[in-house]
Amino acid sequence: MDRLMALIAFLAMLAFLGILVVEVQRIDLSLVAVLVIGFVAYDLYVSTAPEHKKGRH
């Protein structure tokens, strides 16, 4: 259930930033949006990875 909620939140963030980038059409905003999406994707992966992939035993 946690993974599903995290995925829904990620998709909502992606939709929001996608609409923002399409409507504003600025290169600097697009670069920041890509950076934010990368950070969110990394956090999603680290937060929802199985315990054996987190490096904890």
- How do residues 23-36 score in pLDDT, each as one tens digit? 999 999 999 999 99
Expressed as residue numbers, the domain containing 30 is: 2-49
Q: Are 10 and 47 in contact (CB under 8 A)?
A: no
At residue 10, the pLDDT reads 94
At residue 29, the pLDDT reads 96
C-alpha–C-alpha distance, residues 34 and 36, integer Å: 5
CA proximity to 44, closest of 11, 7, 4: 7
C-alpha–C-alpha distance, residues 31 and 54, integer Å: 29
At residue 55, the pLDDT reads 61
- Residue 30, domain member (yes or no): yes
- Residue 55, domain member (yes or no): no
Angle between helical axes of 2-24 and 27-48 (0-180°, round to 10)? 180
- Residue 54, domain member (yes or no): no
What one-letter code names the amino acid at 12? Answer: A
The per-residue pLDDT for range 1-57, each reduced to its tens digit, is 888 999 999 999 999 999 999 999 999 999 999 999 999 999 999 988 887 766 655
Question: In total, how many domains does the chain have?
Answer: 1
At residue 40, the pLDDT reads 94
